[in-house]
């Protein structure tokens, strides 16, 4: 979600992330221990994100998908506001328009993603969702080789749908694809907001806008259930797993790894989501669906390696 912002990764590193969008990081210490440590940090963050999404699905029977996303975004927004204390003065109307758009994309991405994993397996949802940023990278790249990665990704989607997307759930598939569109918009607006606000200020403001969108929906769907101690505790745990811990790990990793290497590693998100779904939610995938996820992972990794800056 997916990254601090992204449902399936803390800063949408998923996930192409706000951190990644800020530009390539300068690796410290070169190859060797620093690089290996950076790889470990990225993988640890990605695992935490996907297992956070799996834990979120466990809360659905009590709070519903809308209630769960409201808790997750609310806690994440409060944590960001406390930590960053964004400066609100001195910005133009254009700045605020970008920030609000950024927040709407963030809120829409989270809401649609949680609606998707309420209906279809986590691994399939993340695989479909990552098509948004993957196709964005293909369009921005404008290289012939990018068409190869697009074709590979679409082949993976075709295999995922063998037997009919209806078997996965048409509404769930549509929500996952919609989350991917929101993710692509989030990446574009993240870069624009980052040019107008200090990076963490932009993310804190966007998360607050997402809170204002998601919280009324969550209250309307779950009501007083959101105030139950057990539900609040799980909501806080989801926010920490899906936002706080992964975001901190990403920042540390980007000090040790080139941004391109970071992006390739985050392309593993669909595979890690499938693993989390299997271990936490008992969501088994067929060999054909596993092959489909592998193709999308390969396409994502190829696209970020050959797409340039």
Residue 208 near residue 81 (C-beta atoms within 8 A): yes
Could you tell me if residue 22 is inside a domain?
Answer: no
Q: What percent of the chain has pLDDT over 90?
A: 30
- State residue 265's pLDDT score: 76
Two tokens, residue 88: 């609100």
pTM score: 0.81
Cα dihedral value 131, 132, 138, 140, nearest 10: -170
Q: Where residue 59 falls among pLDDT bands split at 50, 70, 90?
A: very high
State the total domains in the chain. Answer: 1
The residue assigned the tokens 């969550």 is 218
The residue assigned the tokens 């964005």 is 136
- State residue 68's pLDDT score: 95
Could you tell me if residue 15 is inside a domain?
Answer: no
- Residue whose C-alpha is closest to residue 105's, from 86, 132, 139: 132
- Residue whose C-alpha is closest to residue 175's, from 213, 122, 214: 122
- State residue 10's pLDDT score: 40
Separation between Cα atoms, residue 82 and residue 128, nearest integer Å? 34
Separation between Cα atoms, residue 81 and residue 304, nearest integer Å? 32
Cα dihedral 43, 45, 46, 51 sign: positive
- Residue whose C-alpha is closest to residue 178's, from 221, 231, 115, 99: 115
Q: Regarding predicted confidence, which is higher, 97 or 20?
A: 97
pLDDT tens digits for range 156-176: 877 777 655 556 788 999 999
- Residue whose C-alpha is closest to residue 231's, from 58, 79, 3, 76: 58
Residue 221 has pLDDT above 60, yes or no: yes
pLDDT tens digits for range 39-55: 888 888 888 988 999 99
Residue 9 has pLDDT above 70, yes or no: no
- State residue 112's pLDDT score: 96
Residue 257 has pLDDT above 90, yes or no: no
Could you tell me if residue 77 is inside a domain?
Answer: yes
- State residue 103's pLDDT score: 92
Highest mean pLDDT: which range of 101-105, 125-129, 274-278: 101-105
What range defines the domain where residue 68 resides?
28-306
Could you tell me if residue 100 is inside a domain?
Answer: yes
Could you tell me if residue 235 is inside a domain?
Answer: yes
Residue-averaged pLDDT of the chain: 81
Highest mean pLDDT: which range of 130-139, 221-230, 270-279, 293-302: 221-230
- State residue 259's pLDDT score: 67
Q: What percent of the chain has pLDDT over 70?
A: 83
Our CA angle for 253, 257, 261, nearest 5°, is: 110
Residue 227 has pLDDT above 90, yes or no: yes
- Residue whose C-alpha is closest to residue 45's, from 84, 8, 74, 82: 8
Question: Beta-carbon neighbour count of residue 224 at 10 Å?
Answer: 8
- State residue 88's pLDDT score: 82
Residue 8 near residue 2 (C-beta atoms within 8 A): yes
Separation between Cα atoms, residue 83 and residue 25, nearest integer Å? 22
Residue 16 phi/psi, 5-degree rounding, is: -5, 125
Two tokens, residue 122: 């986590």
CA distances from 130 to 2, 105, 251, 256 (A): 10, 15, 21, 25
- State residue 166's pLDDT score: 57
Q: Where residue 18 falls among pLDDT bands split at 50, 70, 90?
A: very low
Could you tell me if residue 256 is inside a domain?
Answer: yes
Could you tell me if residue 46 is inside a domain?
Answer: yes
Two tokens, residue 189: 């607006």
- As a whole number, mean pLDDT of residues 196-217 equals 89
Could you tell me if residue 154 is inside a domain?
Answer: yes
């Amino acid at each position: 979600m997916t990254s601090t912002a992204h449902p399936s990764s803390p800063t949408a590193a998923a996930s192409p992330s706000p951190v990644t969008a800020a530009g390539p990081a300068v690796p410290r210490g070169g190859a060797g221990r620093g690089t290996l440590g950076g790889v470990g940090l990225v993988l640890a963050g990605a695992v935490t994100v996907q297992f956070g999404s799996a834990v979120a699905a466990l809360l659905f029977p009590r709070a519903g998908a809308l209630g769960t996303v409201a808790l997750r975004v609310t806690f994440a927004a409060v944590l960001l506001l406390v930590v960053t204390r964004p400066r609100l003065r001195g910005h133009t109307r254009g700045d605020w328009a970008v920030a609000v758009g950024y927040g709407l994309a963030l809120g829409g991405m989270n809401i649609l993603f949680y609606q998707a994993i309420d209906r279809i397996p986590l691994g399939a949802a993340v695989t479909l969702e990552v098509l948004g940023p993957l196709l964005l990278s293909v369009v921005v790249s404008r290289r012939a080789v990018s068409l190869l990665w697009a074709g590979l990704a679409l082949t993976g989607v075709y295999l995922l749908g063998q037997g009919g997307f209806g078997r996965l759930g048409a509404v769930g598939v549509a929500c996952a694809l919609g989350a991917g569109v929101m993710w692509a918009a989030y990446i574009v607006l993240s870069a624009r907001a980052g040019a107008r606000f200090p990076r963490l200020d932009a993310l804190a403001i966007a998360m607050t806008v997402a809170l204002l969108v998601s919280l009324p929906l969550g209250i309307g769907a779950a009501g007083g259930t959101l105030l139950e101690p057990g539900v609040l505790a799980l909501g806080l745990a989801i926010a920490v797993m899906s936002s706080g811990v992964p975001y901190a790990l990403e920042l540390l990793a980007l000090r040790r790894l080139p941004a391109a290497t970071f992006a390739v590693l985050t392309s593993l998100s669909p595979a890690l989501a499938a693993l989390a779904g299997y271990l936490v939610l008992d969501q088994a995938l067929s060999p054909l669906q596993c092959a489909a996820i592998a193709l999308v992972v390969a396409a994502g990794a190829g696209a970020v390696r050959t797409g340039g800056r």
